[in-house]
Chains A and B, each alone.
Chain A
Amino acid sequence: MRTVSGYSESATTRAQSPGAPGLLCARELTVCYASRGEPSSPALLGIDFDIAPGEIVGVLGESGSGKSTLALSILGLLPESADIAGSLVFEGKDLLRFDESAWRGIRGARIAMVFQEPGLSLSPVMRVGSQIAEVLRAHRQEGSNHRKLQVEAVLAEVGLTQVDRIYKAYSHQLSGGELQRVALSQALACRPDLIVADEPTRSLDGTRQKEMLDLLRETNRKFGCALIFITHNPGLLAGFADRVIVMYAGRIVEEGPVSRVFRRPLHPYTKGLLQLMPTSLQYAGRTRGQHLPVLPGTLTDDDHLSPGCSFASRCSARTQVCQTEFPAEVAPEKGRRVSCFNYEN
C-alpha cells in the first residue's frame, strides 16, 4: 500500500458528513488500483464519513462500487498495487501513516474484520481453532491454559454446535455457513472497538442470519463496539442499523438514518435499488420465465471518470447539467446528505 496525493479534483464543495465525529473519521479518502504498471480506474473517489463509538452503520451499493475497498482501507489490508490518499483517523491517529508493526497492535484487537469470502481469509493449512487461539494469544494477556476453552466459548457464541469438532477442523471440512460463523467469531474474539463486516451473513440461512444480527446487536450494546455492516440486502438494515451509507461508482451518493432513507430515498440510485426489494405479492401474477426487474445499464469504468454525475448514464431523472457537472453533496435535512441535482423530483 503506497500513499500518494491527488485524484480528488472532482470533489467540489461538500456538505459535512452527518455522523458525529468520534471513533473513525475519513476525509477525501481515495484509492486507486494500478493494474500492471498503468494506473487503472479509481475504486474510491474522495469519500468523507464519520463513525461514532458504538454506532451501527450499514453500507449498500452496487457490485464493484468500492465497499470492500473501503473495508480493506480501514484495516490497512489493501494490496501492494493500491494507492491510497486522504486521511483516515481512528481515535486521533491517522491510519494511513501506520507501519506494519503499528497495524499489528490494532488489527484484530481494536479493529476487526469479517471478510466477504471467509475461504480467502482463513488459512487452509491450520485448524480453525488454532487460528482463533492465535488472535487471542496476540491480543489478550490471560494465560494459555484456558485458551482452548476461550476459543470454544467464542465458537459457541456464534451458534455453532459441535464446537469440539469445529475447533479441530480445517477450513475445507466446514460448510459455507460454518466457515462464515468461524470468521465472525474470530472478529468478535477480542471485543474490538470497531468491526467491519463485509457481507457477514450471506452464507447463512434465515434463522442463523437473525441469530447473527442479534448477536452483533448484543455485542454492540454490551461492549459498545461500533459496526460497519456491508450488505446487499437492504432488508437486513431495517431495525438493525442506525445509519445507512449508499455507494455508487466509488462515491457515497446518499447517507442518512435508515428509517428516513428507506421511507423517502432521495438519490435515484437508492430509489431504484429499494424498489427492487421483492414483495411477496408480486410473484403471484408472475409467469414462468418472465424477466425480473433490473436497474437498466451497468456500472462501467467511464462512469468513475465522468466529469458529471457517475450515475447519469443510467438515471431516469437526468437533466442536461448532470452530464457536465458533478453534483455536489447537499444536506437536505439534518443528518442526511445526498449527491444529486434533482433529488427533490
Chain B
Amino acid sequence: MKTEEAAQRARTPAHIRAVGLSKSYVQRAPFSHKKFAIDALLDVQLEVSPATLTALVGESGSGKSTLARCLAMLEKPDCGEIWFEGKEISRSGSWELAWLRPKIQMIHQDSAGALNPRFTAAQVIAEPLEIQRRESGPKLRSRVCELMEEVGLPANWADRRPLELSGGQRQRLAIARAIALKPAFLILDESLSGLDLSTQAQILNLLLDLQKAHSLTYLLISHDLSLVEQVADFVAVMHQGRMVEHGAGQDIFGSPRHAHTRELLGSVRLVESAFRAAQAGGQQ
C-alpha cells in the first residue's frame, strides 16, 4: 500500500485494537521449587484497520502467537484491553463469546495438531458451519466441496482424514475451515509457510478475493518477509515481547527504523541475493 493511502486508512477507526496488553507465563520445574517466568507480551499496542492485511513479524519467541491467541480470545491477557468493532472484549463472558467466536477466527501455527484426526476433511470444514447453523443438508455438502476446491483440494477427497493428507494439504484444510464462516477478522499464524510458492500465491489470491467481496481484515504472522513484502498493507514488528515498530509496508521495507527490523530484513535480502547470484551464474 502506498504511504498516503496507508495514512488515510490509519485514520479510519481500527477494526481490532490492542491497548497495553501484557501476558506472562510461569513454567514450573519438576522436583523443585524452581520456576521460570516468561514475559511473552509486554505492554503491546496494535491497531488493525478494517479490510487490510497487517503482517506481524519478529524473531522466534517474540510473542506473536501469544498476541494472536489473546486477540482470538483463546487466552486471557494479564492486563490490557482489546477493542473489536467498537467494543472492549478482553473480559467477555460466554454470552458475548458466542457472538464473537464466528467473527474472529485463527488458524494455528500447528494446524495439523489442531484438526480433529477422527473427522473426515468434509467434517472438519462442515463443523463450524453446522455449529453456527449457517447451512445444512445438500447445501452444506456443496458448500464444503466449493471450499475444498477453492483451497486446491480435490472435492473427491472429502472422506480423507487429516493424517491422510500431506502437510501442505492439511494446512489448506485448516484454511478452508477458517474461511468457511467468512469471519470479519482472520488470523493466520504461519499458515502459508509450508506451501510451495505457487500454492502460496493461489491461497493469497483467494484471501484477496474474499477481502474484496466481504471486507475481511487479516493478521498474517509470517517469518517469510519476501512474502510479507508482496502482500502486506501494514507491518508490525515484535521483539522480545514488545511491539517495536508498526507502519505501512512500504515504509517498513523502505526505511526500517528499528535495529531488529533491519536485522530481519538483512537476512532475507541475503537469501534473495544468493538466489539471484545462482540464477545469474555468479557462482561456480
Contact = CB atoms under 8 A, between A and B. Distances in A.
A11 B15 CA distance: 56
B109 A280 contact: no
Interface in A93-119: 116-117, 119
B5 A203 contact: no
A288 B57 CA distance: 20
A164 B274 CA distance: 36
A143 interface: no
Nearest to A60: B196
Contact of A205 (B59, B167, B230, B275): B59
Contacts of B205: 291-292, 294
Interface in A53-82: 60-64, 67-69, 79, 81
A173 B230 contact: no
A279 interface: yes
Given A120-B112, A178-B61, A288-B5, A235 B272 contact: yes
Contact of B197 (A177, A202, A263, A276): A276
Find the residue from B205, B230, B271, B283 having the highest chain A CB count within 10 A: B271
Given A289-B211, A292-B201, A178 B60 contact: yes
A176 B110 contact: yes
Contacts of B277: 238-239
A162 interface: yes
A64 B60 contact: no
A320 interface: no
Interface string A164-199: 110011000101111001000000000000000011
B169 A63 contact: yes
A262 B267 contact: no
Interface string A200-240: 00111111111000000000000000000000111110110
Contacts, number: 199
Interface string A134-169: 000000000000000000000000000010110011
B167 A68 contact: yes
Contact of B198 (A67, A165, A207, A294): A294
Nearest to B59: A205
Contacts of A168: 27, 29-30, 36
A278 interface: yes
A63 B223 contact: no
Contacts of A210: 267, 270-271
B239 to A, nearest CB: 10
Contact of A119 (B113, B189, B274): B113
B168 interface: yes
B10 interface: no
A239 B195 contact: no
B223 A204 contact: yes
Contact of A288 (B1, B159, B168, B227): B1
Given A127-B30, A177-B61, A178-B60, A294 B271 contact: no
B226 interface: yes
Given A162-B36, A175-B65, A206-B264, A272 B233 contact: no
A16 interface: no
A235 B110 contact: no
B268 interface: yes
A239 to B, nearest CB: 5
B166 interface: yes
A51 interface: no
A176 B64 CA distance: 10
B201 A294 contact: yes
A178 B62 CA distance: 11
Contacts of B1: 288
Given A280-B269, A291-B201, 20 more contacts: A33-B164, A63-B168, A63-B172, A81-B164, A116-B167, A117-B113, A169-B27, A176-B110, A177-B59, A177-B223, A206-B266, A232-B196, A235-B274, A259-B284, A274-B279, A278-B230, A279-B272, A288-B233, A289-B211, A300-B154
The 9 A-B pairs of least Cβ separation, nearest first, read A177-B60, A63-B168, A206-B267, A238-B278, A292-B201, A119-B110, A235-B275, A276-B197, A238-B274
6 contacts: A68-B166, A208-B60, A263-B278, A278-B229, A280-B269, A292-B205
